[in-house]
Copies of this chain bind each other. A is one copy, B any other.
Amino acid sequence: MKARVTVTLKTGVLDPQGKAIEGALRSLGITGIAGVRQGKFFEVEVDAADEAAAEATVKAACDRLLANTVVENYRVEIAR
């Protein structure tokens, strides 16, 4: 089973990398970008009997390693 994990910074957490990207886009002449926030993305291949088991495994991986839940949120989508 395939899972798609998106990790994003919580609202209010500063994102200097996103700000740098915004500045770089402006220097490249790309206008109309009002803000950029950078996150992480993982495609995880899970061996599990059903969707619920797959989601539990991936959530454990997020809590233990993929996301820092103090400053980051994560979202797990299981591909059917």
Contact = CB atoms under 8 A, between A and B. Distances in A.
Interface string A27-49: 01011111111111111111110
Interface of A: 6-8, 18, 21, 24-25, 28, 30-48, 53-54, 57, 60-61, 64-66
Copies in the complex: 2
A59 B53 CA distance: 36
Contacts of A65: 21, 24-25, 28, 30
A43 B47 CA distance: 30
Contacts of A46: 32-34
B42 A30 contact: no
Contact of A41 (B6, B31, B44): B6
